[in-house]
Amino acid sequence: MPFGVIYIAIMPNIENPTEKTLAALTINDPLAIEELFANEKARFDKQLAAKNPDEVNYALMKNAWLGRKAGVLTLISENWLKSAPPTLKPIVGQSLNQLKRHIEESLELFWVAAEKTSEEAASTRDRVDLSLPGVIRPAGSHHLIRQVFQEIEDIFFSIGFSVVEGPEIETPYYNFEALNIPEFHPVRDDMDTFYLELPKSATTPLLLRTHTSPMQIRTMEKQKPPVRVIVPGKVYRRDNPDATHSFAFHQIEGLAVDADITFCDFTGTIEYFVKQFFGPSVKTRFRPSYFPFTEPSVEFDVSCPFCGGIGTAASGGTCSKCKGAAWIELFGAGMVDPAVYGFVNYDAKKVSGFAFGIGIDRLAMLKYGIDDIQVFFQNDVRFLKQFP
Amino acid sequence: MKVVYTWLKDFVDVTATPQELASRLALSGTNIGGVENGAHGAVIEAEVSSNRPDCLGHLGIAREVGAIYKLPVKPVLPKPAESTAKASDAVRVEIQTPDLCGRFTARVIRNVKIQPSPKWLKDRLEATGVASISNVVDVSNYVMLELGHPLHTFDYDKVRDHKIVVRKARPGEKIRTLDGIERQLDPNLCMISDGDSSRAVGIGGIMGGAETEISFSTKNVLIECAWFEPVAVRRAARFLKLHTEASTRFGRGADPEMAELASRRAAELILQLAGGELLSGVVDVYPGKRTPKKIRVTRAELLRVMGADVPDKEVESSLSALGFAPIRIDQNRGAEGSILATWECTQPSWRAEVEREIDLIEEIARIYGLDKFPPRLPAARQGAARLPHYEAETRLRERLIGLGYREILTIPHVAEERDALFRPEGVAPARLSNPLSEEASVLRSNGLVTMAAALEWNLNHGQRNARLFEIGRHYRLNGSDSVETPVLTLGATGEGRQKNLYEPSREFSFADLKGDLDSIGALAGSFEWHEGGPAWLHPARRGRLQLRSNEIGAAGQLARQVAEKFKFRQDVFLAEFDLDRFCSAVRAAKEARRYEPLPRFPGVERDFSLLLPDGTHFSSVVNAIQALNISEISGIEAADLFRGKNVPAGKYSLLVRITFQSREATLTDAQIGDYSARIVASLENNLGAQLRAQ
Ligand SMILES: [Zn+2]
């Protein structure tokens, strides 16, 4: 902008030319007009450059130059344009528009700069401290056992198992006899049982079910095959409580009976469940075992998910979860013993099926590293909070 | 059962390491507790399941090993030298109870020298955890651990008349057993007696008597090797609370055919270790001799149950190795792999529990290897259903969690006097006949007793703020029938609002509980609150809950006298309602719910500041206003409540906010003025209200 510099330099004290008409300024050729406008532009730029970008200065500058009543541009329009001779009017108008655009754009940039400055200023004062806590509306939580139940129910539900529930107070018939466990069967020694005190008139004893298996019988009594159910619930054994025993605990029973269910379907179903629950890399194995109500019976093991099935912990020592065995015994299961079908009037020659009983507390303890079963029942909020 | 690796090798030439062997055993059905390398070599801890008494001896485990590795098992053929004198002249045996004792064999050895056992015998017994006593006693233990069959040795000279009588116990009879304890007997017990049978010298299948025990002065030995009925032995052991190595084996079912062989093996060892002279022959009373059962197994059934085939050779080798002697009897018997294949098997005397085709299928499958049956997912043939109230319960649960309640699970066993604090009158509790303790002797008749205990636990452990819920059951007796009812229980104590940087804290109050319950109630239509409630609730801060005029529960602050029992030093709030009824209402409410078009014209709020006599309920205000039947009233709210300054005694100030809204048009000031005048007049006339300002 060489013109402006010269202009200001040579006419420092000249009166403001925008207050005079062109005629009064004795300007009558286009070049002089361009110089006039160049001077105004230079004046604006100089003023703007001298000011800190903030909201006040922005308003000042905007008012001084674009103000509708006494702004420089209004004066130019009034004094130079309106009275300009027709030959000069186009060039005055054009120059005025250019100057206006320049001022607007410059002020816009000035505004952006002003905003930035004010943000920086505000930041120390107004900005939220993200390290301070918000206002918590405390939410509750599902009990961990309930969460594990839900997860298992969902897995089995997704492959066609319905959910049913049954009574916790049972008769010996459903808890034992119909499951092929007659009185004095050795298996009864492992299932110490709570009995209810009943009036003398009672015809049958009542007990607290020692497993969810009575619902196998109740379900089959009620419906014909195909049967595919899981039964979540509480069960009871008369064991003295310690870190691994509680006289109440939780199980999920599973039962599938149909015209064509085989051992392969059984192992496939169990494998599917375990890979959903522990992840696809877990290995499984079935060991022959014995239960009176299944045959063949199995114990089901998974490769220890905590050491990856090698028996050695990451630290190098023996894995504490599988105690170095590399396998963890999860639960018992098997093909439904034909004798059981006899109790529910199913034709053992025509149907077959499988059943399993999963101990939920143990599974949760394994999965979440809990070393004392009692914490499930103490309901300390510090425990409950850990599993939101 | 501790299995000594070298002992096992007496019977089967296994070359696998003890570790390998243990894992193969585990995968074919013998549960393994571990393998230890002790002073006498490797010992495998076999946890034998109750259906396999045959595996409670090294020979039985050897049979399993033979089947797994397809190795022959060496036969047991003891041939002790016998004298010319006959056993039958030296001892007589009579079984009066063949239902309890199916076989009794007796051998006699004269002029033995009772002394400590040699090292090899002591070592083997030590490896299996059995203490060495003397050569003759050790032999009976050794043979039991070797062949799985219990034996008993008597001092022959102490057996009166050299006669054994097996009979039932007599009323009031007692015996002092080998362990020195005098035991009262039950008439169902099987007793071994001597002479005229008046004296008991042993409890059949469980333990011998002290009076005829072998001692270091014993000269002549009577070897008893018998077979007792398993159920009777289990019953007896349970009655006597006396579980021995013998009762375990007989109780699960010993091999009756083994009795004579084990006796012969014992005689052989006694001659070897204690010298003496074995009388020839055996006195063998065997009323329970069984003819071996024939059992058939077909490929068709194997396929039907297992879902995958097993080659003929594998079927036959596993069944043969286990002693079932399979023979193809079908018309296609030349053809390998025939779908018609049928094998006829003979039940070995040591496998009484194998009686059915399915039992043989299990035997084949476990030896063949369960991993050889390929897993697959069966196709679902029908839709799966959730529990009937699944959706309602899930919504309830989620809402409670949103309101800040944490789910708990409790054990229903509680102390009688605690349960009684919350038990409705006339309800019979479900009492246990064999509780573990007084504190856990009754099943809770309500969910409140365990909820209060959970709050108690938290308060005693420094957790003074808790909002808890439980979805559980309560248990009651109706005559001799049990009734289990699902209930929801709520418990809250401590802060209703936590202190934070911006607001102060506030204690949980009845209003919090009511608000929370009404939030839940909205799922089921809404709760109706009524005066009164059970005695465990504070009389001034409690209410009964109804859904569609059906009583479903109660809520409020825990009564002071109950709170004192729990030593609660802060206010505790409890609520409980019937879950099934609630969930049914949730379903019904969901089905009945319909969209209501949003109003098109603005609503207008007017506040009425009223002075009301104490005891006037907000519901009376609402009722009085509703009685005017002004259809443009769309809401009546209690906006502020105030007592004290500027309010005369006996009155309270209530700010009622009423919303007017029409579905037809915007309401005019004149209309609202008219409605307001009618409302004020009604409240003044009906409730004695005074309008303070509008
Ligand atoms: Zn591990």
User: Which pairing describes strands B604-613 and B572-578: parallel, antiparallel, or unpaired?
Assistant: unpaired
Task: Enumerate residues 6+ apart whose C-beta is below 8 A from A388.
Answer: A139, A141
Say if residue B281 is in the same domain as residue B298: no
State the distance from the centre of ligand 1 to the C-alpha of A332, rounded, in angstroms. 20
Which of B243, B267, B285 is the endpoint of a domain? Answer: B285
Size of interface A-B (CB pairs under 8 A): 237
The verdict on B598 touching A (C-beta cutoff 8 Å) is: no
Side-chain-side CA neighbours of residue A63 (13 Å): 6
Weakest-pLDDT range from A183-187, A334-338, B406-410: A183-187
Say if residue B448 is in the same domain as residue B512: yes
pLDDT band for position A9 (cuts 50, 70, 90): very low
Residue A43 to chain B, least CA–CA distance (Å):
52
Say if residue B65 is in the same domain as residue B124: no
Query: Token pair of A150, please?
Result: 């839900």
ipTM of predicted assembly, 2 dp: 0.90
Residue A8 has pLDDT above 70, yes or no: no
- For B106-149, write each residue's pLDDT tens digit: 999 999 999 999 999 999 999 999 999 999 999 999 999 999 99
How far, in Å, are A11, A120, B139 from residue B266 at the CA level? 139, 101, 6
Kindly state the average pLDDT of the residues A125-144. Answer: 85
d(CA A363, CA A365): 5
Task: Enumerate residues 6+ apart whose C-beta is below 8 A from B353.
Answer: B51, B52, B253, B359
pLDDT band for position A14 (cuts 50, 70, 90): low
d(CA B248, CA B245): 5
| Other beta carbons within 10 Å of B63 | 22
Residue B75 falls within a domain, yes or no? no
Candidate from B366, B431, B503 with C-beta closest to A288: B366
Best interface-test mutation with B: which of A197, A207, A231 has the largest number of B CBs within 10 A? A197
The CATH number covering residue B334 comes to: 3.30.56.10
Candidate from A138, A338, A380 with C-beta closest to B458: A380
A197 CB neighbours in chain B (<8 A) are 431-433
Say if residue B32 is in the same domain as residue B126: no
The CATH number covering residue B653 comes to: 3.30.70.380
| Other beta carbons within 10 Å of B74 | 14
- Alpha-carbon B383 to chain mean position: 30
Residue B259 falls within a domain, yes or no? yes
In contact, B167 and B197? CB cutoff 8 Å = yes
CB contact under 8 Å between A267 and B484, yes or no, is no
CB contact under 8 Å between B49 and A240, yes or no, is no
Task: Enumerate residues 6+ apart whose C-beta is below 8 A from B515.
Answer: none
Residue B278 falls within a domain, yes or no? yes
Which of B553, B571, B592 is the endpoint of a domain? Answer: B592
- For B632-657, write each residue's pLDDT tens digit: 999 999 998 888 778 888 889 999 99
Q: Which domain does B357 fall in, by range?
A: 294-372
Residue B615 to chain A, least CA–CA distance (Å):
34
A202 CB neighbours in chain B (<8 A) are 480
A226 CB neighbours in chain B (<8 A) are 381-382
Say if residue B542 is in the same domain as residue B437: yes
Kindly state the average pLDDT of the residues A28-33. Answer: 85
Say if residue B230 is in the same domain as residue B343: no
Quote the pLDDT of residue A15: 67
Residue B400 falls within a domain, yes or no? yes
Say if residue B58 is in the same domain as residue B110: no
State the distance from the centre of ligand 1 to the C-alpha of A146, rounded, in angstroms. 26
User: Which pairing describes strands B277-280 and B221-228: parallel, antiparallel, or unpaired?
Assistant: unpaired
Best interface-test mutation with B: which of A274, A287, A299, A386 has the largest number of B CBs within 10 A? A287
Residue A181 has pLDDT above 60, yes or no: yes
Say if residue B128 is in the same domain as residue B243: yes
Provide, rounded to the nearest whole percent, the portion of chain A with pLDDT above 90. 58
* DSSP bridge pairs for A235: A249
Residue B242 falls within a domain, yes or no? yes
State the distance from the centre of ligand 1 to the C-alpha of A276, rounded, in angstroms. 19
Residue B383 falls within a domain, yes or no? no
pLDDT band for position B693 (cuts 50, 70, 90): low
Residue B135 falls within a domain, yes or no? yes
Kindly state the average pLDDT of the residues A163-179. Answer: 96
Most confident of A44-53, A116-125, B180-189, B397-406: B397-406
Quote the pLDDT of residue B477: 95
Say if residue B451 is in the same domain as residue B328: no
Residue A308 has pLDDT above 90, yes or no: no
Say if residue B577 is in the same domain as residue B642: no
- For B598-633, write each residue's pLDDT tens digit: 888 989 999 999 999 988 999 999 999 999 999 999
Residue B310 falls within a domain, yes or no? yes
Say if residue B38 is in the same domain as residue B156: no
Q: Which residue of B has its CA nearest to A238?
A: B436
Which of B285, B306, B336 is the endpoint of a domain? Answer: B285
- For A315-336, write each residue's pLDDT tens digit: 888 888 888 888 988 899 999 9
d(CA B267, CA B112): 11
| Other beta carbons within 10 Å of B146 | 23
Say if residue B170 is in the same domain as residue B241: yes
Provide, rounded to the nearest whole percent, the portion of chain B with pLDDT above 70. 100
Query: Token pair of B250, please?
Result: 């007989």
Residue A128 has pLDDT above 90, yes or no: no
Candidate from B31, B231, B365 with C-beta closest to A289: B31
CB contact under 8 Å between A247 and B356, yes or no, is no
Q: How many domains does chain B have?
A: 5
- For A246-294, write each residue's pLDDT tens digit: 999 999 999 999 999 999 999 999 999 999 998 998 899 999 999 999 9
Task: Enumerate residues 6+ apart whose C-beta is below 8 A from B36.
Answer: B42, B43, B45
- At residue B137, the 3 state secondary structure works out as helix
State the distance from the centre of ligand 1 to the C-alpha of B365, rounded, in angstroms. 28
Q: B343: buried, middle or exposed (CB in 10 Å: 19+, 13-18, 0-12)?
A: buried
Averaged pLDDT score across all residues of chain A: 89
- For B265-313, write each residue's pLDDT tens digit: 999 999 999 999 999 999 999 999 999 999 999 999 999 999 999 999 9
CB contact under 8 Å between A296 and B375, yes or no, is no
